[in-house]
Each structure stands twice: as structure tokens, then as C-alpha cells.
Amino acid sequence: MNEDNPLSDSVILLGAGASKSEEAPLQSELFQNYFRYIRSLDRDLVSYLTVFFGLDLEPADNRQYENLTFPTCEEALGVLEMAISKREGFSGNENFQRNRLENIRDKLIRAISLSIARSLESSMNRRKRYHDILASQLKVNTNTAIISTNYDILIDDALDKEKHPIDYGFDFRFQRKDGEITTYSRPQNGILLYKIHGSLNWLYCPTCKGVDLTPLVKSVDGMSCNNLEHQTDCREVMTPVLIPPTYMKDISPHFLQSVWESSELLLRRAKRIIFCGYSFPDADIHLKYLLKRAEMNRLTSDPLEVFVVNHHRGKNPSAIIQEYERYFRFLRNHACFHYTRQSFQDFCEKGLDASDEFSKTEIDCMKL
């Protein structure tokens, strides 16, 4: 961690629900959105989803995609990640043999990035910008850091609008912006923004192993790598850094290890963590591991207070119960656990209201 940056007393963790407030798609909607927005479909991707999941992806118009039941990202990517890790393949099509599966996996990740980008572009003029409101509050509160599980750059753009320099937890090779390419070092006094699952504006070259920072509009269109350090053009197509939402996350690249290690240190020193739009899913065992280490290996005498801000009007009682219980059974100090009635929108506009929370008695009554 950058020693010149103040360690944060509070950590805001942004989950999918925070982005959903600005009409970004949930994980369960990503593939459906891809086929809704993308006119020129990748045939390998169509073949994979058709053969493996029995989908008819040749409808007369895009509206028929609404009636299809797509696999979740965890399912579609998890099957491939498992096969790749076991060095196994599938019969019936040469594209599904062992040496071709990484290509399908990479195309699925690209489809995810395109789906998110196109969804946000289509909603740009009508959505209320809650991340902008949140970023504006950070002007007077430099002791707040952010950990994001989201690929989109809603919070990145919001911080940039407020002229906040961003410390992503590692140095990029280059920053590509407005046709110029410059080096990018971590700012000495930037807002800590650790994106533990990657980001659409991080472009990775598998040949040079370099990571560039770029605007979103360029990150999803494919960009050839120009390795200016060695004055070469390796011509490799750079891809967004996205860690699939599966149990088998690959966080081996050195820059991602730096992000995760910095996140752990941040949480171990934080007095409170505020989960915004995060349902504590079972598949995210890596983040649960960080949280447990933050609880058990404190670097401060203060216990870790946990606030959950993930409510919304009309939320199903069974969803409330299940979400509450996922947090409750995992956390060791129940006295420091606060499951609030606030939404992400409430939190951005009004701040944290620790008094407005569900009690365990209320949750138990919902079960009856």
C-alpha cells in the first residue's frame, strides 16, 4: 500500500446492486443483454451456448431473446474454468477440445464487457448518477476508501469528475487517453479504489504482460498492444481484466495480487466496512476469506463493524432473510453487525443511518 496515503477508517464495498441502481446489468442478465445489443455475434460463442445449454440463438428479432433462459456467468464460465484447470476437453466439436477452451473463455469475458458497456451507454441519458453523489461526498472525507467487486467504471468516472486522483493499488504501464499515451504511477494522495475482480478500463496484454489504463469506450473495442518500453508492436489484442464470478478465480497476475493484498491490509485496519448493493454470494469465497482475516487479524484495537446497505422497496422477505443469514452466520461479532433498511441510493443521498436497521427479532418474525 502507498505509505503516503492515509489508511482509511471506513471502507465502502460496492457490489452489483450499487451498479444496478444506475441500470448496469446483474450477472444473471449479462448474456441476455449481449444478444440484445450486439448485432454481429461471435459464432464460437453462439455455438458454445447452443451446444452446452440448449439455447436457440437464431430468433427472428432480438425481442425473442427475452424468452430464453441463459446460464449465469458463474455457470457458463465455471464449466470452462474447471475444464481448463483439469486440462480436459469435450467431444462433439473441435472448438470444445482442450486446446481451444481458453479461446471460448476469453470470448465469454469479452461478451461480458460488451454487455456492461452497451447497457450503460443505452441508459446514460436517463439514469440518476448515484455514484456521482457518492464521489462528491468524499471531498470532505478523505478517510474513506472503496473496494469494488464490479467491472464497470461508474465509480471511476464519478471520482474523475470530482478531480479525485485514483489509487488502484498498482502502477499501470501506460495510460491511454485522448489519443495520448503516458506513464501512470499511483498518486501520492489519491482515493483508494481497489477493484478486486478487475475493471473494464484495465487492458492486459498476455504477450507483454503489461496493464494499461484506458477509457471504457476503447477497452471493449479491442486494441493492439504497443509496447513502448521496448519500442515494439507485439500486435496482441489487449483484453479487459475481468475475474469471472466463479469459485475458481484466477488472481495469480502480480498486479491483482497487489490489489488483494492491499485490500486485506485496508480491511484489517478499518474500523467499519459498509457493504453497498452486495448480497454476500456463496461463490465469492475469496472476499469472504479477506473479511474473515480482517475480523481475526485486526491491526487495531477496535472490532470491525459491518453495515449492510442493500435494501430496496418491495424486496422479497425471503430474500431479506437469506441475505441476513448469510452475513449473520459468517460474522463472529454479531453485536457489530448492522443490517440496515437503507438502499444504496439512500446511502449516497443521506449518508449512513446506523439506527435504521433490522433486528434479529424482526428477521425471525419474517420467517413465520
From the list 311, 318, 288, 306, the residue with the least C-alpha distance to 354 is 306
According to DSSP, the β-strands at 223-224 and 237-242 are: antiparallel
pLDDT tens sequence across 274-306: 999 999 988 788 899 999 999 999 998 989 999
Instruction: Give percent above pLDDT 70 in the chain.
Output: 88
Measuring CA to CA, how many Å separate 88 from each of 69, 82, 244? 27, 8, 19
Q: Which amino acid is at 252?
A: S
Instruction: Give percent above pLDDT 90 in the chain.
Output: 39
pLDDT value of position 7? 37
- Tell me how far apart the terminal alpha carbons of the chain are, to the nearest angstrom: 48
pLDDT value of position 4? 39
pLDDT tens sequence across 336-351: 999 999 999 999 999 8
pLDDT at 236 over 90: no
Q: Please report which confidence band the pLDDT of residue 32 belongs to, taking 50, 70 and 90 as the band edges.
A: confident
Q: What is the DSSP letter of 356?
A: S
pLDDT at 64 over 70: yes
Q: Please report which confidence band the pLDDT of residue 5 belongs to, taking 50, 70 and 90 as the band edges.
A: very low
pLDDT at 6 over 70: no
Average pLDDT, the chain: 85
Measuring CA to CA, how many Å separate 204 from each of 207, 239, 274? 9, 5, 30
Rounded mean pLDDT, 104-110: 86
pLDDT value of position 38? 75
Query: pTM to 2 decimals?
Result: 0.87
Q: Please report which confidence band the pLDDT of residue 233 belongs to, taking 50, 70 and 90 as the band edges.
A: low
Domain with CATH 3.40.50.1220 in the chain: 1-22+128-199+243-368
pLDDT at 2 over 50: no
pLDDT at 246 over 70: no
Specify the CATH number for 1-22+128-199+243-368; select among 3.50.50.60, 3.40.630.30, 3.40.50.1220, 3.40.50.720: 3.40.50.1220
Rounded mean pLDDT, 44-50: 90
pLDDT value of position 332? 94
Sign of the CA dihedral running 293, 298, 303, 305:
negative
Kindly state the cell numbers that stand for 114.
Answer: 460488451
Q: Is 205 helix (H, G, I), strand (E, B) or coil?
A: coil
